[in-house]
Amino acid sequence: PNSGFKFDNVKRNQLLNDKGFMVPTATKTGTTIVGLLYKDGVVLGADTRATSGTIVADKNCRKIHYMAPNMYCCGAGTAADTDFTTEMISSQLALHSLNTGREARVVTAMTMLKQYLFRYQGHIGAALILGGYDVTGPHLFTIYPHGSTDKLPYVTMGSGSLAAMSVFESQWRPGLSRDEAVEMVKDAIESGIFNDLGSGSNVDVCVITKGDVEYIRGYSQPNQRVAKEQSYRFPAGTTEFIAPKTRTPAEEATAMDVSA
């Protein structure tokens, strides 16, 4: 069979549209993912809500994916696309490292990702933030679903990206310490969580430095359930109801007889 995407349903969808039926649409996705450079490395952050349209499908999913021992990648968009795209490129990076006998460079992973996504013209819904530390220092990239890339000191992506970017634009500066960088990432993700319905739950953080990675699940949990202020158990008989009455089939037939 031929590889790649098939568009056999295009004519079918057009026919349904002509007959007045609603054309199938893509499910709306939601996420807030961010990354920034600080003086010793890179900090990545993500929320943990997975949505299916207006339904929260998972309250604590992982959006920061392993790529190589020295780099990780945040994913926004279609969950299956981000999972399998990062997993496939991670496998190719492992083979690359074995063949060369060297640690993979971040720019190598970025090139593999952008060439793969460009090949499918945006039909793979994966918006990615790639961060890592290699022999040339710390690096931070964004990769868009169509294959374009940016290299910036701080980046945001996903439906909550504007809220997160407002935090970075107002607070980021060169030479941040580790604690300042992690707190800024936390504040940016929480800004997305509280201002975007597609983002929610907890904050995951990944700190990448030379020769070391610290992946912190649930670094901040701003949406924990609190105890109810009072008991909502009511005594029996609080609500009145009509006593049930059982009818026989004969009584039911008489009750339904409207011939008279």
Q: Is 31 labeled as catalytic in the residue annotation?
A: yes
| Residue in 25, 27, 29, 31 annotated catalytic | 31
Beta strands (DSSP E) in the chain are 33-38, 41-47, 50-52, 55-58, 64-68, 71-77, 126-134, 137-143, 149-151, 154-157, 203-209, 212-220
Alpha-carbon 4 to chain mean position: 24
Q: What are the structure tokens assigned to 27, written together?
A: 């499910």
The DSSP annotation for 116-139 comes to HHHHTTT-S-EEEEEEEEETTEEE
CA distance 234 to 240: 12
Residues paired with residue 203 on neighbouring β-strands, in sequence order? 47, 220
* Residue 13 contacts residue 23 (beta carbons within 8 Å): yes
108 residue type, one letter: T
CA distance 35 to 73: 10
Catalytic residues: 31
